[in-house]
């Protein structure tokens, strides 16, 4: 289990993030157009997984906006935003915000992502949703960087994610 806080209160996840140096684990996510994306689909590009509880919260929305801005300037890099929100919510948000540089994905149809990445929250007011995490992988799907954000109500360390890509 991994620990973090939510508004200062200790919380736990169902597992641990995959270790740096490991291959990205097998997963299946649903994109906004209801097609799927798997670990095989990310190979060939560097990938930043922006994992969060819900697009409908301020901090989660801010991270999608920030990664959308950063992704515009990154070569051979994709940002995959992951939550349990339905694709409809992702589409609504991206259209309203003019977001087009990230791939929004939902885990609604298959639970393999949160299980493989160990990010399901077990405690606190949001059990079952995913904790705020960043996972960065290279073109071969090897994990370069992970971050379990220490306080759920705070944004991830964008600089650390970018440094992992250099």
**121: containing domain:** 3-164
Q: What share of the chain is helix, strand, coil (3-state, %, to 5)?
A: 25, 30, 45
pLDDT tens, position by position, 92-137: 999 999 999 999 999 999 999 999 999 999 999 999 999 999 999 9
pLDDT digits (tens, 9 = 90+) for 12-31: 999 999 999 999 999 999 99
- Residue 52: CATH number of its domain: 3.40.30.10
Average pLDDT across the chain, whole number: 96
Instruction: Kindly tell me the number of DSSP H helices and DSSP E strands found in the chain.
Output: 5, 9
Cα 166 off chain centre by: 20
> What global pTM score does this model have?
0.96
Q: What are the residue numbers of the active site? A: 60
Tally of structural domains, the chain: 1
């Amino acid at each position: 289990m991994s620990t973090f806080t939510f508004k200062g209160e200790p919380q736990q996840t169902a597992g641990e993030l995959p270790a740096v140096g490991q291959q990205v684990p097998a997963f299946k996510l649903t994109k906004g157009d209801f097609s799927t994306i798997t670990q095989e689909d990310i190979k060939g590009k560097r990938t930043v997984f922006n994992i969060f509880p819900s697009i409908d919260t301020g901090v989660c929305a801010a991270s999608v906006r920030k990664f959308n801005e950063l992704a515009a300037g990154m070569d051979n890099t994709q940002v995959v935003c992951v939550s349990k929100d339905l694709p409809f919510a992702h589409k609504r948000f991206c259209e309203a915000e003019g977001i087009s540089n990230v791939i929004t994905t939902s885990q609604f149809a298959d639970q393999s992502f949160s299980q493989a990445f160990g990010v399901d929250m077990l405690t606190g007011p949001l059990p079952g949703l995913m904790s705020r995490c960043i996972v960065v992988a290279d073109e071969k799907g090897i994990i370069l960087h992970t971050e379990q954000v220490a306080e759920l109500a705070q944004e991830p360390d964008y600089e650390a994610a970018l440094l992992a890509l250099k």
